[in-house]
A = this chain, B = another copy of it.
Amino acid sequence: MIKNTELMQLLELVRNKKPLIHHITNYVTVNDCANITLAIGASPIMADAIEEAGDIAAISSALVLNIGTLNPRTIESMIEAGKSANKNGVPVVFDPVGAGASKLRNDATTRILNEIKISALRGNISEIRYISGLASNTKGVDASVDDMSDDANTIASDLSLKLRCVVAITGAVDTISDGSHTVSVRNGHPMMSSITGTGCMCSSLVGSFCGAAPESIFNGVIAAIICMGIAGEIAFEKAGLVGNGSFHMALLDAISKIDANTISGRAKVDEA
């Protein structure tokens, strides 16, 4: 299982390489995605026109696809960018926001998974259940309480084997699997679900780590999710009682100040 020294090395890689992370993402949380990508040490570019999606993906270190506010134009751009990323050996991270909530989201999810080789898939339990073909209660873009069960390990592991990519289910406990190994991350704070964008930001961190260390996707996803969780804890300690606006700001503060000591002192990761 991942060691603290490996986590710290991955963070150092992000900060030294400053990888360019191409996002085709939603307009709700895009500012937070760009800012968290910068805060962890990477460099964001948001480009969703099909006329440049392939070009930008080709010069990037990772591609993050997020269907939060998808439409037919941007779905085509995602496919174009994804194919270019695949051709150029650029890892692709997929965040299937709201999969299960509408036919458009379901069809786009199917197309992306069929036509693009994904390196890492990150979603909440409702979205991942939907993709796994299991009964899902996706209503909107937040996880349904009814879907939170104790079988996340099996679901992540099975889906990882089926899709041949790392699968991460984030929630009260985060589950990450590469099919052979499954780990649980117990960092984070419930207040993270009281602001928009913590899932999207987590996917941006996944993109940043995968872009910096494409040979270590599994560890990169774990590192990203641990960083996000630790930032949530620190943000709550600093600003949770003040309110949602301060918590939001403190989350970006925490990512920008995260370092090896913080990680080694706080990371809570176990073999599942």
CB distance from A98 to the nearest CB of B (A): 7
State A141–B101 Cα separation when bound (angstroms): 33
**Residues in B whose Cβ lies below 8 Å from that of A140:** 20, 43-45, 59-60
Chain A: interface size category: 35 or more
The residue from B35, B49, B104, B105 contacting A72, defined by CB atoms under 8 A apart: B49
Per-residue B-contact encoding for A233-257, CB less than 8 Å = 1, 0 else? 0000000001111101111111111
CB within 8 Å of B: which residues of A? 20, 26-32, 34-35, 38-39, 43-49, 51-52, 55-56, 59-60, 68-73, 98, 101-105, 139-142, 194-197, 242-246, 248-257
Copy count, this protein chain: 3
The residues of B that contact A52 with a CB separation of less than 8 Å are 102-105
Known pairs A35-B244, A243-B256, A245-B250; list 16 more (Cβ under 8 Å).
A20-B139, A26-B46, A27-B30, A27-B46, A28-B34, A35-B195, A35-B248, A38-B194, A38-B196, A49-B71, A51-B103, A51-B104, A55-B101, A55-B102, A60-B140, A244-B256
